[in-house]
Amino acid sequence: MSQPKKLFIKTYGCQMNVYDSERMAEAMGGQGYETVDSPDDADMILLNTCHIREKAAEKVYSELGRYKGLKAEKPDLKIGVAGCVAQAEGEEIMRRQPMVDLVVGPQSYHRLPELTARTHNGAKAIDTDFPEEDKFEHLKSRPKAKRGPTAFLTVQEGCDKFCAFCVVPYTRGAEVSRPAQRIMTEARDLVERGVREITLLGQNVNAYHGHDTGLAGLIRELSTIDGLERIRFTTSHPNDMDDALIAAHGECEKLMPYLHLPVQSGSDKILKRMNRSHTRDQYFALIERLRAARPDLHMSGDFIVGFPEETEEDFRDTLDLIEQVKYGSAFSFKYSERPGTPAAERPQVPEDEKDDRLQRLQALLKRQQQDLQDAMVGREVSVLFERAGRLPGQMVGKSEYLHAVHVTAPENQAIQPGDLLKVRIESSGPNSLSGVLIGR
């Protein structure tokens, strides 16, 4: 019996890339590969890349440079680049790093086994098409191995919004939704393997249209699966938060009271230049409706500071929006140019001003996050435990609000991964809460 080949995957970026890496590993598993934790042990190295962050492509080239020695020692080692940088850079990757054997875009990774086979005689393989077929249907079924209690599940890909700062429409393509019944089949399989919480993923997930009644309808149908206790979704666009989805937040018990709803800026001028197609007042009105449906809803957001032509007054509008909404968590970044996007051609804000604004914005967000965490002390929450903590007998899980919660189990009551238990919060730390069990 031949020895299995070894595959090392390094994943950059968002949860969708984490999901994609899992599926690529499964696809290559059907070709006799098993995953390993170190590139030194690998017969194939695959970088699953993201193009969102600053200097994303250069970071990939730097990472590839680290593997030159390995390639020299092991000439049969295969090196591949997948994901959004692969889609954007394509031939340039092959030109700058001739040791790369294959390049595959995020919509073509179901072809990975075929591309790998092409490289066995020293040939190069590249596929950055946007194929018409559903890549998920071409992947082998997930093996029936036991899973942890939480899982990601991609339901939608691509984006039609064309925000002025974003490369996603160019690297992931137009919005495409997976059929609801295929998602239901995959969700049931995950639950059979031990998953109790599923996060639905999409570049613009609330634009999902694979169900007759959109994302809300999919969530309600998923809620009928016995053993699936929690549902979340990310990432959303304010313009696609429809009435049915707002109602679902108040009516669907399995839909958790946590929503990531990026706004990016609090200035109407900057929102228009970003091509966000909504105003700050429209965003406020949407938040008001969501909190009317679910009063305990915790909000998360994305913010870009130093967008081209942003003034101090524009930035203060963003701080004011944050003060009014009160976010439980958020992601914030300095604007950085993405070649080919409209914003890259506009007058840029000096880097020192970007740095100053980012520090001020993050200080406000950190204060809000801590205030909301502190307000949890004394409350009872439901915690889905995922892993052991650093202390003896300690377990760590997530509350319905996505707070990390640490609990030390009583001597007579061990906690297992996958347990969903009631906890009373007793203290709040910088990035987590601590509590005691009060029942199942």
Question: Is 67 found in the same domain as 190?
Answer: no
Question: Is 336 found in the same domain as 240?
Answer: yes
Identify whether 60 is part of a domain.
yes
Question: Is 160 found in the same domain as 109?
Answer: no
CA 25 to CA 20: how far, in whole Å? 9
| Six token digits for residue 129 | 């098409």
Burial class of residue 277 (count of CB atoms within 10 Å of its CB; 0-12, 13-18, 19+): middle
Binding residues: 14, 50, 84, 159, 163, 166
Burial class of residue 390 (count of CB atoms within 10 Å of its CB; 0-12, 13-18, 19+): exposed
Question: Is 393 found in the same domain as 275?
Answer: no
Ordered per-residue pLDDT tens for the chain, 440 residues: 567 899 999 988 777 788 888 888 888 887 889 999 999 999 999 998 877 665 667 888 888 888 988 988 988 899 999 887 787 777 888 888 889 999 988 777 778 888 888 888 788 888 877 555 555 565 555 555 567 899 999 999 888 999 998 888 777 788 889 999 999 999 999 999 999 999 999 989 999 999 999 999 999 999 999 999 999 999 999 999 999 999 999 999 999 999 999 999 999 999 999 999 999 999 999 999 999 999 999 999 999 999 999 999 999 999 999 999 999 999 999 998 887 889 988 999 999 999 999 999 999 999 999 999 999 999 999 999 999 988 888 999 999 999 999 999 887 788 999 999 999 999 999 899 999 999 66
Question: Is 183 found in the same domain as 122?
Answer: no
Question: Is 186 found in the same domain as 115?
Answer: no
Q: What is the largest CA-CA distance in the chain?
A: 69
Question: Is 190 found in the same domain as 154?
Answer: yes
Question: Is 154 found in the same domain as 87?
Answer: no
Question: Is 90 found in the same domain as 213?
Answer: no
Q: 3-class SS at 27?
A: helix
**52 with 85: CB under 8 angstroms?**
no
Binding residues for [4Fe-4S] cluster: 14, 50, 84, 159, 163, 166
Give Cα 238 to chain centroid, integer Å: 17
Question: Is 170 found in the same domain as 65?
Answer: no
Question: Is 389 found in the same domain as 369?
Answer: no
Find the domain containing 416 and state its range.
380-439
